[in-house]
Amino acid sequence: MNSQQNNTSEAVIQDRAVHQAEMFANRISKNVKRLKKWAKSAGVECFRVYDRDIPELPFALDLYSDRAHLQEYSKPVMEVRVQRRWLTAMHEAAAQALNIPLERVTLKQRYGQRPDDQYRKLAASAQDFVVGEGGNRFIVNLTDHLDTGLFLDHRQTRALVGTLAAGRRVLNLFCYTGSFSVYAARNKAASTTSVDLSKTYLDWARRNF
């Protein structure tokens, strides 16, 4: 009896995962179709296509040119083995909706972070590549660190700094990979000074320049 109950329960969970994966893929496809037109006209190669739109699917999905960054923001209440299968289904749904190979969709889990996790190295794959934004080019890496090297929600602020920087000296504290400084320099700032606690990110900023 217990075995039958377990099999029934797993079948129900599997059916739910299939349904949620379909919902996830459909929402992503709808969003991408709308956003790609805007991105092309704006000269932007990286942007968010899904941001916890559906409450039971707590993911953020960002497109970086022909690759993607999928982040899970809260752990679902389910048995670990089942949760892994569920997460795999969502990962595959994202790749399918974006029409890119699964290995080009990096999956990360963002819950339970410590304040210093931004600086923690996750891997050493050296999978750097370059994306365009607003006439600038930036190095990003979706696998080796928790963050990618370019905060997409800062895009408008970067552009604002660029418009205000001409002829001015710009001090960029906690500069991360120096994207604000690049915008300022490209828009004829008199000088830029970039400061960060991490030598890794300061070197990344140099490469961005």
pLDDT tens per residue, range 99-117: 999 999 999 988 765 555 5
What separation in angstroms does the CA of 133 have from each of 104, 119, 139, 161? Answer: 20, 24, 11, 14
169-173/191-195 β-pairing: parallel
What is the pTM assigned to this prediction?
0.85
Q: What pLDDT was estimated at residue 96?
A: 97
Q: What is the pLDDT of residues 116-143, one digit of tens each?
A: 555 555 555 668 999 999 999 999 999 9
Question: How far apart are the C-alpha atoms of 182 and 167, rounded to whole Å?
Answer: 14
